[in-house]
Amino acid sequence: MFSTYSVIMLVIGYMAVLFGIAQWVEKRLEGSGNTFKSPWIYALSLAIYHTSWTFYGSVGFAATSGLLFFCIYIGSLISIAFWWSTQRRMVQAKETFHITSIADFISTRYNRSQKIAGVVTLIAIIGVMPYIALQLTAITSSYNLITHEVTASQDWELSGILTTGMMIAFTILFGARRLDPTERHQGMVIALVVECLVKLAAFLAIGIFVTYHLYDGFGDIINRLHEQQLSHVISISGDNGYTIAVTLIVLSFFAVQCLPRQFHMGVVENTDQNHIKTAMWVFPLYIIAINIFVLPIAGAGLLSGYDIAQADYFVLLLPQLAGQNELTLVAFIGGFSAATGMIIVTTMTLSTMVSNHLVLPLIERINLLSAGRAYLLQIRWAVITLILTGSYWFANEFSESHILVAIGLISFVAVFQFAPAMFGGIFWNRGNSAGALIGLAGGALVWFYTMVLPTFVRQGWFDAQLMTEGPLGISLLRPEALMGVEGLPAVTHSLLWSGLANISLYVIGSLIYKPHKNERNLTTEFIYTMQPKSRPHRARPTGLDAYIVLEHKLAEAQSLLSSYLSDDKASSAIHTIAEDLQVLKKAHITIIELVEFHRMVEHTLAGSIGAASAHSTMENSIRYTEREAADLQALYSHIVTELGGQNIVDAEPSVPAQEQGSFGLIEDLQSQIDKLQTRVQKQDRMIQEMEEKLEHRYEEIFRYRLEAQKAQQENKNLQKELEERIRLNM
């Protein structure tokens, strides 16, 4: 046993070292203006995928279900094999649209919809909170395990609050100390890589100690398991074993890309898409390495006489039983690293999503809250505190309801709801905002009803008859037996029905709804951006007259950015943009340079408040003079003419996403062009009808003339005949 003080000092010292590494990296890069572009750093940072669920929970899962534990990683390995087709596309879209989170990615694909961004954020908050709670549970339980008696391992009164407070402080220090316009945190990434190496080294150290010191290798442990009739550890065991295996493979296939922390590390923090190629073989090796000793540790724990209820913490208990105090501390630090890395990145990412897609839209719509734009950083701190406090409550409330793996599966089914809209948006050009919105909402509701509600029922919050008889006595609506489908594991049942609802609604909604032209144009550009090779575009010498006063535009952009960033960061960002455009020393700029300037300002703003919010803010804040508007119209006409032959989606010309709106102007121009085209078509039809009437009238006149000439000739003949008769009579 260790004293509480010594363990706390060890944790604080360890995190101080990591913070020092992060600070050193950031200061070094800040001075040089460079970025870390190592494929190894990128590949290893993705190992944040392995949390306390892997470090502790995999052993517990293996102790009860044997080889079934590795199915959660088989799906991930299969998914990684397709990364050059999936993750590379996401990185390309991120670079073009300056995407900062998975909510930003999905909403940008679907017409920058704030509603979709909000729904994704809510699903992430509700769905991932149990996963954060799992990490807090692991830290607190392992802390109590090495400082108190095992029976006190669920004491949350002091250790839980202490753990939550430390996680709040660490998350703010590592990921939310300042409002970064790029939402990239390279110092934090390096610190996380160190943590990933520490947890791997710690787990391998425990595994080698157990396998080759306590026992004589893998063969010895396997033989003893057979002798003690514990062979279920080395086979797929348990009820519905193969059904659960398929379920875990499907869930992990999407989770390795759809989890908010994985999207952030794999897409947002990516500095070079070619690093994905390295990650595609380094990351799988890491997955295999950190799981190679799971079965020996699980088997050794059972052979040592420990109760299977303690299996989640065999990693700590075995070296502790052998009197290896130093190794016990190594295991504790490894588990602590696995949990804190996930908490820091996930909470930081969720706070960004909440501030950008839930809080900021309210600030923009309610004038009384407009002052809040200057306090986005403090808002994120508050959100981080709320998320971790809520996770602490969940962990405290449900700490005895599920083993670690079961808690994690609730979150995996939740993040699966992102998959149809996310991958459908990448590969299916007919997917649109209506389908994405109803698919996300429908799938999330079914997930909540079939997986979260039963947890609340077991906790005693709702009547147990809901599970046995269904709402209002409708047995077909029982949460764990929808439509009479019984006998499936809870996670399989929830995945089946929520996935079916999500995918069906997404496809049906996308096929029925006809998106507006603006959305089709953005879809075109989004999909075109993700193509392996961009086709060259010709350009006309349009808008090259430099008459726009640069100083006024700089001041306008400075004022806008200062509402969300500090004055220093706003000034630095504007200076960098002007320098990149090579207009810093110019007094006047062209309309083309102005559009590009505004596009880059929007990208900078998107890093702080998200692409959807940034686009909306630019539309509402940036104005053009009459001459600028006229030049934009001419420029737009040329673009439409040049791109008219490129058919990507619905035979519509591709219009660059940023110019598509020009913050409200070009949407109006597009609308006017549509109206003019409609008018021209109507006029063409009217002219055609008039020509037909005129031709008919000509025919009538011709017939009239023929009849008139005939009548005139007959009159002349009659007159001659009459004159002849008069002459004869005389």
Predicted confidence (pLDDT) per residue in 63-73, tens digit: 888 888 888 89
Given this model, what pLDDT does residue 633 score?
Answer: 66
What's the mean pLDDT in 503-513?
93
Is the pLDDT score of 77 beyond 90?
A: yes
Share of the chain above pLDDT 70, in %: 86
Q: Return the structure tokens found at 400.
A: 């005895």
pLDDT bucket at 116, cuts 50 / 70 / 90: very high
Q: What mean pLDDT comes out for the span 682-690? A: 79
Spatial separation of the C-alpha atoms in residues 264 and 299, rounded to whole Å: 36
Provide the pLDDT for residue 399: 61
Residues pairing with 66 in the sheet: 236
- Position 454 scores a pLDDT of 85
Q: Mean pLDDT over residues 21-30, rounded?
A: 79
Min mean pLDDT across 115-119, 288-292, 609-613 is at 609-613
- The continuous run of DSSP H or E covering 62 comes out as helix 58-65
pLDDT (0 to 100) of residue 730: 63
Whether residue 652 has pLDDT greater than 50: no
Kindly report the number of other CB atoms within 10 A of residue 574's CB atom: 24
Range name among 59-68, 154-163, 227-236, 254-263 with the lowest pLDDT average? 154-163
Across 676-692, average pLDDT: 76
Lowest mean pLDDT among 610-614, 637-641, 724-728: 637-641
- Residue 162: the pLDDT is 81
The rounded distance, in Å, linking the Cα atoms of 187 and 491 is: 37
The whole-number pLDDT of residue 188 equals 85
What pLDDT was estimated at residue 35? 63
**pLDDT for 18:** 87
Given a cut of 80, is residue 536 above it in pLDDT? no
Strand partners, 548: 589
**pLDDT for 539 beyond 50:** no
Distance CA 643, CA 656 (A): 10
Domains in the chain, CATH or no CATH each:
4-417 (1.20.1730.10), 546-668 (no CATH)
Please say whether the beta carbons of 346 and 260 come within 8 A: yes
Measured distance CA(174)–CA(540) in Å, rounded: 48
What integer pLDDT is reported at residue 537 of this predicted model? 40
- Of the two residues 624 and 574, the one the predictor is more confident about is 574
Residue scoring higher pLDDT (390 or 633): 390
| Contact predicate 155/144, CB 8 Å | yes
The lowest-confidence range among 258-272, 361-375, 376-390, 481-495 is 361-375
Q: Do 404 and 64 form a contact (C-beta atoms < 8 A)?
A: no
Q: How far apart are CA 482 and CA 179, in angstroms?
A: 46
Positive/negative CA dihedral, 648, 650, 651, 656: negative
Phi-psi region of 533 (alpha: psi -120 to 50; beta: other; left: phi over 0): beta
Q: What is the pLDDT of residue 201?
A: 94
**Mean pLDDT across the chain:** 81
Tokens of 349: 């990412």
pLDDT bin (cut points 50, 70, 90) of residue 503 is very high
Q: How many residues in total does the chain contain?
A: 730
Chain centroid to Cα 218, Å, comes to 41
Least confident of 81-90, 275-284, 457-466: 457-466
**Is the confidence at residue 619, as pLDDT, over 80?**
no
Average pLDDT over every residue of 172-199 = 77
What share of residues in the chain are helix, strand, coil (percent, to 5)?
80, 0, 20
CA 384 to chain centre: 18
pLDDT at 436: 94
pLDDT band at 525 (very low <50, low <70, confident <90, very high): confident
- Looking at residue 157, its pLDDT comes to 60
Q: Please give the backbone phi and psi of residue 444, each rounded to the nearest 5 degrees, phi first.
A: -65, -40
Three-point CA angle 525, 530, 532, nearest 5° = 125
CA distance 502 to 507: 9
121-157 residue pLDDT tens: 999 999 998 889 888 888 888 888 888 644 444 455 6
Does residue 646 surpass a pLDDT of 60?
no
Written as one letter, the residue type at 124 is: A
pLDDT reported for residue 110: 92
What's the Rg (C-alpha) of the chain? 34
Q: What is the pLDDT of residue 32?
A: 54
Question: Taking the CB of residue 529, how many other CB atoms lie within 10 A of it?
Answer: 18
| Distance in angstroms (rounded) separating the CA atoms of residues 171 and 650 | 45
Question: 623 with 555: CB under 8 angstroms?
Answer: no
Residue type, 599: R
Q: Which residues does residue 588 pair with via DSSP β-bridges, in sequence order?
A: 549
Contact indicator for 381, 172 with CB cutoff of 8 Å: yes
Rounded average pLDDT over 287-315:
89
pLDDT the model gives residue 285: 96
Check residues 584 and 416 and name the one with the higher pLDDT.
416
Out of 336-350, 372-386, 493-507, 616-630, pick the least confident.
616-630
Predicted TM-score (pTM) of this structure:
0.75
Token pair listed for 64 = 């009860």
Q: Looking at residue 645, what is its pLDDT?
A: 40
DSSP for 22-56, please give it.
Answer: HHHHHHHHHHHT-----HHHHHHHGGGG--HIIII
